[in-house]
Structures are given as structure tokens and as C-alpha cells.
Amino acid sequence: MAQSAPNPAPAFGSSSLRKSASWLRAKEMLIRGVLFCCALVSVITTLTIIFVLLYESILPFPGHSPFFAEVSVRDFLLDTKWTPQYADKHFGIMPLVCGTAWVTFISGCVGLPLGLVSAIYMSEYAGPRRRSVLKPVLELLAGIPTIVYGYFGLFFVTPYVLRPILHGGLGFTVGGANALAGGIVVGLMIMPLVASLSEDVLRAVPKSLREAGYALGATKFDVSVKIVVPSALSGILASFLLALSRGVGETMAVTLCAGNLPQLTANPLIPIQTMTTFIVNMMKGDAVVGSIEYKSLYAVALVLFTVTLTMNYISQLILQRYREVYQ
Amino acid sequence: MRKMSGPTQWLCGAFALALSLTVAGCTPAPAPPAGGATPAATSGTDAPKADGAPTDPAMMEGAKPEEGAASAAPAGGTTIVLDGSSTVYPISQAVAEAFKETNADVEITVGLSGTGGGMKKFILGEIDICDASRAIKTAEKEECAAKGIEFLELQVAIDGLSVVVHPENNWVDCITIAELKKIWEKGSTVTKWNEVNPAWPAEPIALFGADTDSGTFEYFTEVVNGKAKESRTEYTASANDNELVTGVSDNKYAMGYFGYGYYVENKDRLKALSIKKDDAAECIAPTAETIETGTYAPMARPLFIYVNKAALKRPEVAKFVEFYLSEAGQEMVSERKFVRMPAAKWQEMKDALASALK
Amino acid sequence: MSTPHDAYARSLRRRHLQAAAFGWVCSLATWFSVIILAVLLIAVTYRSVGWISWDFLTRFDSYRPQKAGIFAGLMGSFWLIGLTALFCVPVGVGAAIYLEEYAKPNWLTRVIQLNVSNLAGIPSIVFGMLGFTAFVRMFGLAQQQYILWLGFTHVKFTVPFGRSVISGALTLTLLSLPVVIIASQEALRSVPPSIRHAAYALGATKWQTIRAQVLPAALPGILTGVILALSRALGETAPLAVLGAATYITFAPGKKGLLQAPFDPFTAMPLQIYNWVDEIDRKFQNVAAAGIVVLLVALLLMNGSAIYIRHHFQKKIRW
């Protein structure tokens, strides 16, 4: 330590000490400043995102007409057609919201229960050896790129799982791309997230509560379901919310296996278009900068951003409160 | 613990070095606009030049014609940059690949921003060649002129549309444009076959069509409905033509449209309808011959590339365009399931290129 | 006739049965995830058999499935991730050090902290739009070419950056930053305060303490976090698709000089997979599967090295 320190003033002349001390002090301040700037980058990122999205969709600068100057908010929210690429353009976001809602809902039906039950298993039932197998598997599942899930959904789930059961067995028409396949793979994707977040939450429940339960003659089921889960409920809800917001923002898996056709529909077996799919398909194609279609991208992204940010924020708040309760 | 401070110090040192290098590299220039680096006046000089006022590369070409040939090279160097129509993309990609086999030192990128998007970039001088599934519009021509961009229009292939039904469909062989319009026009209420023609069965039509992103969609709607991109919206649209083929071949009462090439690929699973332009016209079935000779009107269209004339002065671009029109290049057209242009047209294009290269 | 004791015994048996059944359900659901992982990997690998070869790794893309290769994507991803690491690590670790070691618990710190954790949940596609607007187009700035003279060579680049590696890397940097910050913070937090106190007691300044004591101790944790964040960035498709990376490209970045690489157009592995899935010819489904296997192997290598680092250094450090 002493070797690498740059100020080993051997002669203890007070002036040299002061000089080196003030140099050191300046250096310390400088470093602190640089580090602070690093921390600010994330704030600047958020501000830039907000600015970029608002600029094209809402803010009326001179010589620039934003999306909502050309399409009224009323039409945007209430029109039931989304046809930016037709000659007769409609910008009603409902079909996209409908698509997103379908995918999120189905993914929730698949991913949330599976994830929660896995979390219970890992925190209450599994011994350390099984946990040491399961944890990495879940981490691996969470680490697989979403495009792989998309491939899996398109070329495996739909033709080999959904078609035989729903078409062969029950006689429904199943589109090559459909909301159900998209929802299922997104569900599989968010499951590890729910599992690991919920497990953390469950393990934070004090041991004393469980022991009290066992002392009263409760079975493992009673302890898990009637004591641990209820006491961790807010944390579990937060993890659900976080996972669902991931489902809302999921792009590639949905693009590949849920289709690209904005429809306001109650049938999850036909292709749909989500907000994220719209953005990807439009951006890689023919969106001429400055056109109304181009601006509509930012309006959709703004909705997406607002929804996911709100869900995240609420879940953060809940988690924070939860941690305070058990610490 | 002290031993471990080694790597950290190294890391810090490396970053500091990288930073100082960048700064040192930037500072000698008298720093005109952004960032301290100097605008490249000509790409021939390798020392920084501070006098060049920041100008659009394309405009610079107009100002200094002698140096222009090199400096107007939009994306720079020996890279040929193509962008534009997603319909022409497969041809351009295949030609680029074949060209690369004999010209390993030339680099090529092909993008697909759509004809409109490609034209926009072409006008800004960002790309060398624009793929287009339609002729350039007057407005775009004017913008080119305003930016001082001269271009060469070359037809490279023909694209045929085919209207297809299930092979077991025995009630229709030939369909008129008017009937198609009745089915596909904006706000069409047709849901059953007999609503188009009472002789046809009272079964619901399942409609399949190209994705709204595609040139095929634009073209079909223009021909059938009279206005590009105006179409009914209740049908299965997909960018993946396999899905359309499967959709039509799965349903006896289906109808769909897509590029002629995909019909040829799946002839055994589909039946293509003959097209009757109007009541007086004959029914014309889509074949390579009818498309090539133009009798399969109006369901066949020429495909173009637009070459920036300034870029054409670069030998590698000239060589590439020549290759595009050569036998080897034109083989790619049929390879990618499009129809080659008739011999006379082909010769005409070759002549046009030869005179532009003079 | 049943006595209260019988009723109790019955209810007890029922409850134990219930508990056992629940245990079964839980374990089934959990092992289901293992099965899914296995099915997914087997399905993809099965479809890629016969398509992965040395040629596949070293060839450029082609319209003929038999000739398609992933080289451009491999190199593109390599440069992307390399540059992302270069930008992301100093800024991310710096931010973490500030938040853990310097920041006072005031409103500003809380805002930054909250912002970091919320930013981690923003969909990647929104970052893509940010990258497109801020780096590719730079808010619509007119395009100009610059030459940067470095003393021994020059680098040509345009401002705005256009669809180049650096635009992609900057976008991925912003995307991975929150993850790196959070992981680094956790690593720094796990360094016991006694180490810091000992350094202060010897007269070290704050920065000296951090640089010589805290950072080395937290390094394995930070590295693990960084690698995991980068491996996530490696698989990201949506932001790159939004940036509009080149679709067909006959060269890899860096062909015209290594320093030129950041400004070259590029494609990336996940993007190529995406394009192959969309191809008409069904054989491209196998090519896509082969691409996925390559991508997964790359991810596995990165994750493996993270695990190795964690193990290797954890053994060495004893408090």
C-alpha cells in the first residue's frame, strides 16, 4: 500500500506536505467528479429516451409537427383500426394493445403459476443439492436469447404442440403464427424471472414464522401456502408485475411466432400484432423519416415506455416496502 | 491484497492511454464543427485538411467535378452500397454474391428499406444503387436534380403476380380484374364466393395476401383497386410467403396473391387463376412466356435498379452493374424465381449502360 | 360411528396427502422447466445437424441455404460486444463506485438509484429507438464525412454514425449499463467495511482505498456481472433490428484496418438468425437452427468464463 501511494514525503516539511495534500485533494475531487458523471449517464439516458419519444409524438417545435398534431388523441385511443401502411390510414392503437394484452395475458397464465410454484419448491421443498441443479437451469433458461424462443415457438410449439391438439383434436383453425404460441413462449421466458424473484422474496420470510407453524402441527403445505406465501404476498405480486412488464416489452419471440397483423380479436389462434412487433416491422421496412408512419412509431413506443415504466416503478415500490417489513 | 492492484492499474492505464490517443488524434485539427475532427474534403488526402467547409458529399461533387469521382463515393471506399425494394432484394443479393466470387476485393452491402426508403437515401447520396420495384416518381426526379444527382435507370427483371386458389377449386379458372376488385377493394363486404359471382359456391372465402410492407402489396392494390396501398384489411397478411402458400393450400375455399416465383415453387399445392383484364380481353394464364412478352397484363411489372452516375465512375461499380446485366447476372433472376426480360429489352439496357460508361 | 379421534385422524391423513400432492405438483412444475430447456436445446440442435460445419462458421451469408454462413454475424457480434464492453465497463463500474462509496443518501442519489433499477426494466426495443434517433440519425443532423488523423493512420467516419458498429455498440452500452451498475454495486457492497477502515487508518485517501483495496476485492463479482450483462447484449436482436443493420454484407468489420472497424456497416448473429427464419426456402430453417447453436455456444463460453472467474477468485479471497 505504502509503495503505491504517491505522496511519501520523506522530509516532513510542512509546505511540501500541504502542497501534496492539496494536489491529492484536487485529484480526489476530480475523481469524484468523473465518477459522478458516470452515475449521471443513466439519468441522462432516461431523459434522452423521454425527450426522443416526446419530440416525435407530442412536442410541437417550430417547423415540426408531432404525431399528435396530425392524429387526435381521441382517434389514437378509440379508433379500432391500425392501418399506417394503407392508403387510408387509421391510427387507433386498440388492435396493438389488444395483441399485447393477449400475449401478456397468456404468458401470465403460463409463466406466473409455473414460476411461483417453482419458487415455492426451491425455497420450501428442495434440498441444497437439488437447488444447486435447478438454479443454474433456471439461469440458463433466463439467459437464452429471445430470438431462440421465437424460433422454438414458430417451428416447434405451433406445428408440433398446438396444431395437433387444437386443430387435430378439437378442430380449431390455428394460424401459422398465432397469439397463443407467442404467449406460451413468452410465458416460458418469464417463468425463470418469476421463480428467482419470488424465491428471493420467499426466503426473506423469517424462519420463525415457519417454525411457529410447524410447532402448531401444520404440514409443509399449510406452512407454504397459508403462512409463507401470504406473508410474502406483496413481494410476489411485485415479481409478477415485473415479469408481466417484461412480457409487454418482449419483442423478438413475439415477432417470430405471433404474427404481424393488427387485429382487434377475441381469438388467440390467429396472427396478431403487438406494439413491439409493429415497431420492429416498421423500422426494418419502409418508414420514411418524417412521415406520419414514422412518427407513429414514437407514439407507440411512448405508450410502451409509459406502461412498462409504470409497472416497474410500482413493483419497485412494493419490493422496497416489502424489504423494510422483513429487515 | 496488494498483488491484485496490478490488473486494476493496468486497466486504468489502458483506458487513459486510449483516451489520450483519441484526444491527441483530434487536437491537431483547428476543430471546425462537432468533435474536433475535420470534414473530409477529399478522400484522396490522408492528412487532415481544415479548409473544407462542411458540405453534403453529393453537393461537393457538383462543386468540384474533378475530385468528385472519388469524394462523392457516398459510403466511401471500395464498398458498393445497395438499398431499396424488398422485391428486388433477392436478385441484388444473389448478383452481389455471384459478383463477389470473381471480385473478392470488392465489398457490397445490400439493404432493404423499400423502394420509397431507398429512393430517399439515393437522393441524399447515401447509396450507390437503388433497387426499385416501380419507376422513379417525378417528385423524386426533381429532388435528384435539386441535389445534383444524376442517375441511370436500368430494368433488370420482370415480376409477375399470381392469384392462386386451392387445387380442388373447380368453379373458377379465370377471374376478371373487376371481380378481384370486388373482393379486395377497401371496405369490401364480400365474405362468400357467391357474393362475387352467383354461380360460385356459398362458402366463406379465406383471403391471403402479401404483407403491407412489401412491394407486392403495393403493386397488387394499385393494379386491382386502382390506388396503391388501398385494400380491405380483413385478410391474412404475411411477409413470409411460405405461410401464404400453406394457408391457401390448406383451405379449399381460399384465395391469395403473391409473387409468381412462389407459385412456381409450389405448383403442386396451388392453382393459379388466369387473369382477364376486362370483359373484352382474353383469359391469360401466368407463365414465364406470357409474363415476358407482356401479355399477362396488368399483373406483371418491370423491376429496376437506379445507379448514381457519379458512383458509376468508380470502376468497381461499373463492373458490378455490367455484371448485373451480363448472362451470369441475369441467371440469378431466374434462380430467384423472377422472370427475365425479353432479349430486345435486355439489349436495350446493355446499350444504355454502355453509352453511360463512355 | 366415528369418534372425534377418528375424524381427527382422517383429517390428518387428508392433510398429509394434500401436502404430499402439493409437493409433487411443485417439483413437477420445477422439473418441467428442466424438461423445457432440454426439449428446446434438443429441438434446435436436431434441426441444425448436418448444417454446422467449419464452412458455416467461415462463410458469408448466401441466398442458397447450403452456402449460407455466419461469419459476418460472428465478426459483427464480436466487434459489437468488444466495443460495448469498452464503453460499458468504465462507465458502469464508475457509476457503481460513485453510488456505493461516494454518494450521500440525499434525493439525488435516490433518484439515480431508482432510475438505474427502472431503466433495467425498459424494453430493449425502446433503447433501439433511442439508438436510432440519437446515434444513427443524431436527431436528423446532415451527414458529413470526417477523417481522423491518429499520427500513424487515419480513420474515416461519418457523423451521424449511420448504421455502423459504433451506433450498435453505443445502443447496447446504454442497454447493458443498468445491469452492470447493479451487479457492480452488489459486488462492492459485499466487500467488508473493515477493509476500508484499515486502509483509512493507514492514511490512504478515499480513492487510494477504492483503487488499491475495494476494487481488487470486488473485481471477481464485477467481472461476473459484466460478463453476464454482455452475454445478454450478445443475444439482443430487437434494438439492432431497429437500428437497421445491413441485411446482406460481404465483409466483416475491420477489413479495412482495425481502427476503421467501429465505423463499418455490420450484421450480427441474432440478426442473421432472424433473417434466415424469414427466408422463403424451408432449408433456411435449418440454417437458422445452426446459427442458434453457434450463438448458444458463444453464450455458453461467456457464461462459463463468468462461472470460472467466480469460482477461481472466490477460493483465493479470504477475509
- Residue-wise pLDDT for B267-284, tens only, equals 889 999 999 888 788 889
pLDDT at C193: 93
Chain C positions touching A122 (Cβ under 8 A) are 30
pLDDT at A5: 47
Cβ atoms of B133 and B210 closer than 8 Å? no
Cβ atoms of A202 and A124 closer than 8 Å? yes
pLDDT at C41: 93
Inter-chain residue contact A87 with B112, CB threshold 8 Å: no
Chain A positions touching C128 (Cβ under 8 A) are 279, 283
pLDDT, tens digit (0-9, with 9 covering 90-100), for B124-159: 888 899 999 888 988 889 999 998 899 999 999 998
For residue B192, how many other CB atoms are within 10 A of its CB?
13
Question: Which has more pLDDT, A272 or B49?
Answer: A272
Alpha-carbon span B356 to B353, nearest angstrom: 5
- Mean pLDDT, chain B, whole residue set: 77
Q: Please check the confidence at residue B74 and state whether its pLDDT lies above 70.
A: no
Q: How far is CA B125 from CA A68, B262, B340, in A?
A: 32, 34, 29
Interchain CB contact of A309 with C (< 8 Å): yes
pLDDT at A15: 67
In the block, cell 380491405 appears at B232
Q: Which of B69-73, B168-172, B284-288 has the lowest mean pLDDT?
A: B69-73
- Mean pLDDT, chain A, whole residue set: 87
Question: Which has more pLDDT, B41 or B192?
Answer: B192
Average pLDDT of the residues in A34-62: 92
Interchain CB contact of B221 with A (< 8 Å): yes
Chain C positions touching A110 (Cβ under 8 A) are none
Average pLDDT of the residues in B330-350: 90
Interchain CB contact of B186 with A (< 8 Å): yes
Type of residue at B141 = K
Q: How far is CA B220 from CA A97, B314, C62, in A?
A: 29, 37, 29
User: CB pairs below 8 Å between A and C: how many?
Assistant: 263
- Mean pLDDT, chain C, whole residue set: 89
Q: Please check the confidence at residue A23 and state whether its pLDDT lies above 80.
A: yes
Question: Which has more pLDDT, A137 or B54?
Answer: A137
Inter-chain residue contact C130 with A38, CB threshold 8 Å: no
Question: Which has more pLDDT, C307 or B18?
Answer: C307
pLDDT, tens digit (0-9, with 9 covering 90-100), for B100-109: 888 888 889 8
Interchain CB contact of B28 with C (< 8 Å): yes
Candidate from A34, A46, A252 with C-beta closest to C119: A46
Query: What confidence tier does B330 reach under pLDDT thresholds 50, 70, 90?
Result: very high
Alpha-carbon span A39 to C181, nearest angstrom: 9
pLDDT, tens digit (0-9, with 9 covering 90-100), for C98-150: 999 999 989 999 999 999 999 998 999 999 999 999 998 888 777 778 888 88
Q: Please check the confidence at residue C215 and state whether its pLDDT lies above 90.
A: yes
For chain B, how big is the Rg over CA atoms in Å?
26
Query: What confidence tier does B72 reach under pLDDT thresholds 50, 70, 90?
Result: very low
Average pLDDT of the residues in A259-272: 86
Which of B43-47, B223-227, C200-204, C258-262: highest mean pLDDT? C200-204
Inter-chain residue contact C33 with A137, CB threshold 8 Å: yes
Alpha-carbon span A205 to A156, nearest angstrom: 40
pLDDT at B295: 85
Question: Which has more pLDDT, C4 or B255?
Answer: B255
Going by DSSP bridges, is the β-strand pair B151-165/B107-110 parallel, antiparallel, or unpaired? unpaired
- Total-model pTM: 0.84
State residue B314 phi and psi, 5-degree precision. Answer: -75, 130
Q: What is the ipTM of this complex?
A: 0.90
The conformational region for residue B22 under phi > 0 = left, psi -120 to 50 = alpha, else beta, is alpha
CB contact set of A189 (below 8 Å; sequence gap of 6+): A107, A111, A141, A142, A146, A149, A246, A250, A253
pLDDT at C292: 96
Q: Which residues pair with B84 in a beta bridge?
A: B131
Type of residue at A326 = Y
Planar angle of CA B70, B73, B76, nearest 5 degrees: 105
Average pLDDT of the residues in A28-34: 93
Inter-chain residue contact C207 with A48, CB threshold 8 Å: no
Nearest-neighbour CA in chain C from B79: distance (Å): 9
Q: For an interface test with B, give the residue of A86, A154, A282 to mutate (most B CBs within 10 A).
A: A86
Average pLDDT of the residues in B230-239: 80
Candidate from A114, A126, A276 with C-beta closest to C123: A276
User: In the complex, which subunits touch C with 3 or more CB pairs below 8 angstroms?
Assistant: A, B
Helix runs in chain B, H state only: 5-26, 57-63, 65-71, 89-102, 114-123, 138-146, 177-184, 215-225, 241-250, 260-265, 288-293, 309-312, 315-325, 327-335, 343-357
Average pLDDT of the residues in A115-121: 94
Average pLDDT of the residues in B33-51: 37
Q: Please check the confidence at residue A44 and state whether its pLDDT lies above 50.
A: yes
Q: Which of B71, A41, B77 is nearest to C116 (CA)?
A: A41
Query: What confidence tier does C280 reach under pLDDT thresholds 50, 70, 90?
Result: confident
pLDDT at A229: 93
A271 prior amide bond cis, ω within 30 = no
Q: Please check the confidence at residue A18 and state whether its pLDDT lies above 80.
A: no
pLDDT at B270: 92
In the block, cell 455490367 appears at B322
For residue B185, how many other CB atoms are within 10 A of its CB?
18
Q: Please check the confidence at residue B301 and state whether its pLDDT lies above 70.
A: yes
Query: What confidence tier does A130 reach under pLDDT thresholds 50, 70, 90?
Result: confident
In angstroms, how far is CA A229 from the centroid of its own chain? 23
pLDDT at C150: 80
Q: Please check the confidence at residue B23 and state whether its pLDDT lies above 70.
A: no
Inter-chain residue contact A304 with C125, CB threshold 8 Å: yes
Q: Please check the confidence at residue B42 and state whether its pLDDT lies above 80.
A: no
Question: Which has more pLDDT, C280 or B249?
Answer: B249
Q: Which three cell numbers stand for residue A289?
A: 423519416
Query: What confidence tier does C313 reach under pLDDT thresholds 50, 70, 90?
Result: confident
Q: Please check the confidence at residue C174 and state whether its pLDDT lies above 90.
A: yes
Share of chain A above pLDDT 70, in %: 94
Rounded to the nearest 10 degrees, how much is the dihedral formed by the CA atoms of A62, A65, A69, A75? Answer: -170
Question: Which has more pLDDT, A251 or A63?
Answer: A251
Query: What confidence tier does B77 reach under pLDDT thresholds 50, 70, 90?
Result: low
